[in-house]
Amino acid sequence: MVTRLLYWRGRLSPTACVVTLFAGLSLLMTWPLPQRLLTQVPGPPWDNLVWLYDFWWFKQALFVQHVSLWVNPHIFQPFGYHLALSETTLASKAIGLPFLLLGDEVLAYNAIVLLSFFLSGLAAYLLVTDLTGRRSAGLLAGVIFAFCPYRIHALGAGWIPLISTQWVVLSFWGLDRLLRAPSLRIGFLAGLFLSLTFLSSWYYLVMVGGFAALYLVLRWWAGAQTVNRPQVIRALLVCGVVVALLTLPALLPLITSKHEAMRWTLRDVEKWSAGPEDFFYPSIYHPLWGRWFLRLRAFVPTFPWYAPGFDFLGFVPLGLAIVALRRTRRRLIAPMAIIGVVAFVLALGPTLHFAGQRVYVPVPSGVEALFSRGMYLLTGKLALNKTPYYPLRVDGAIPVPLPGLLFFLFVPFASGMRTFYRFGLLTMLAVATLSGFGSVALLRKWRGQRRYHLTIALLVGAALFEFVAVPFPYGFTDVARLRNQPLDRWLAAQPAGLTMRLPLATAWNGSALYRTTVNRQPAAYGHGTFYEPEYLRQAADLESFPDERAIARLRAWGVRYVLLSMGSFDGGWADRPGLSWNAVQTALAKRSDITLLATFEDQTEWRDETVSGIIRGALPVVPVITDRVAVYELKGYR
């Protein structure tokens, strides 16, 4: 069997060639990551370090401490942290486990990243080859999907839960085969791939779960209803049972936890919605024109890695998709085309945005008042997921509501989705699929001729050139250096004691979280998608630091070491506006219950980036992450 896959008529088989091609492209298009597998991870030191810590804790809990995987008592003390408050990465951990055991969390992280490019390309190749009957179409679609800006953006932002897109594609492949050639085996595979999708990210549970059902309906309507109905029903039942058995054990802790805390407001969601232009805004990761386009919209980013064009579909894929829409029978492409359009609309969020700003329509004051009353009724009274409307209200103007508003208000768990532009993944998948059909329609007359293969190669090359992001402008986090920070080596040598970082911006991030694996001190801070409500309520006392209320809260928690980031206070990240490091130092000098032990200068851990001088108005990595830190010891700790 293996020999048959590798060789065909004495030569490498087409399957072996495709596998080799995607393996090589995955290394080439992420260079120099393959050189840095053991020491660095892509992107600035933020969310990538959250998942490094998550992998580290997975190994600790499972093989060292032999404790529950769901509760981490070492962070957010005295409360601990229930991992149901954050993303699931169980599918990614399953892939990364051999690398985690052979090496460490850095190797596991990078292996998951590289495999996601390889497997996403192969998955799209399989889906489109199956739909079109043309390997060349599948190859083109695989290249477009695997290296699209959405995935490059997830790479730079450190979003491990979202980068495992291969399972999303395979889910649609499994559902399509289930309708066209139903069997118990296909039902099992469809259920397995859906489960792996959901266990990669809860975002994909909400997104792909709904679109999978829509795809089944559309595909059936488009002609699959001619298949034996009882066989389809049996395969669907098998699929459902597999999904339930694999997904529910991980989903139940989420459902039974304090899910009231696991929701965002309308104002939060509005900040993370795409504008229509983001699907057509050229990639800001491109080595030739990326920085120029980033400068045009540098005022938009909210974080160093958040930038326009993350949903860019590519002009080559869009052109081929248009060809498909014009020259391909509708029943073949309608289901995926509709999926792409619906996902596009939802990616725009609850209200319309353009150039990073919410769009308002001027109206008479009476009309605005009537509209606002209706919105207050909808969002505050009628909605399943209630949320205040007032942050969006502007006198004399109204926002433009979109279908995403109803999705956010009435779909279960949708209020836990802060980032609606991620629906753009499904639009990208639809465009990649249509691109395959478009190439078939465009080159049908040349099939079997030399220029057919040459044109396919040119189209693949053009798509790769349009999406290339080498060298990666957002650089790498040097984990080897991060593990060698003087502050953490010093803390590791001190008597055990609960630590707290201030200002809070320096505590609630991936870098601070991951550094606890080095200093080995318990922490009254951490990072995750959501936090325990009671922890947040009590942590609000710390915003008055260094006043007595904050000191009392630290003492009540049992904090011994207080780590104060000097540059963050002076850089405008104090929890009290206008509070400087000099003012903090002066106030602490008057107290006898808190003593300065040492000061440390952090080493820079963000390497080879070329964007920090471009982005304006964003959260700076320096000084929030790399800073001069004063360590104080609080007397009276428990």
**So where are the chain's domains?**
13-42+87-345+422-467, 483-634
**How would you class 582 by CB atoms within 10 Å of its CB: exposed for 0-12, middle for 13-18, buried for 19 or more?**
exposed
What pLDDT is attached to residue 495? 95
**Residue 378 reports pLDDT greater than 90:** yes
What pLDDT is attached to residue 440? 94
Structure confidence at residue 579 as a pLDDT band (50, 70, 90): very high
**Residue 411 reports pLDDT greater than 60:** yes
Provide the mean pLDDT of the chain: 90
Instruction: Tell me what the mean pLDDT of segment 263-277 comes to.
Output: 87
Report the share of the chain in percent with pLDDT over 90. Answer: 70
Instruction: Tell me what the mean pLDDT of segment 445-468 comes to.
Output: 90
**Residue 14 reports pLDDT greater than 50:** yes
Instruction: Tell me what the mean pLDDT of segment 411-425 comes to.
Output: 90
Q: How many CB atoms lie within 10 A of CB 293?
A: 19
Residue carrying structure tokens 């949708």: 414
The enclosing H or E element of 560 equals: strand 559-565
DSSP-assigned beta bridge partners for residue 629: 565, 600
What angle is formed at CA 554 by the lines to CA 551 and CA 558, rounded to 5 degrees?
A: 135
**Residue 252 reports pLDDT greater than 70:** yes
**Residue 449 reports pLDDT greater than 90:** no
Task: Give the pairing type, strands 606-607 and 559-565.
Answer: unpaired
User: Which pTM does this prediction carry?
Assistant: 0.94
**Residue 304 reports pLDDT greater than 60:** no
- Note the pLDDT tens digit of each residue in 306-340: 566 789 999 999 999 999 999 998 888 999 999 99
- Residue 573 DSSP one-character state: -
**How would you class 213 by CB atoms within 10 Å of its CB: exposed for 0-12, middle for 13-18, buried for 19 or more?**
exposed
Q: Rounded to a whole number, what is the distance in angstroms from the first to the last CA of the chain?
A: 65
- Note the pLDDT tens digit of each residue in 154-205: 998 889 999 999 999 999 999 999 998 899 999 999 999 999 999 999 899 9
**Residue 548 reports pLDDT greater than 70:** yes
Structure confidence at residue 617 as a pLDDT band (50, 70, 90): low
**Residue 565 reports pLDDT greater than 80:** yes
Instruction: Tell me what the mean pLDDT of segment 68-87 comes to.
Output: 90
List C-alpha distances in Å: 266 to 7, 175, 357, 412: 56, 33, 15, 15
User: Phi, psi at residue 44, to the nearest 5°?
Assistant: -70, 160
Picking from 602, 526, 518, the residue whose alpha carbon sits closest to that of residue 50 is 526
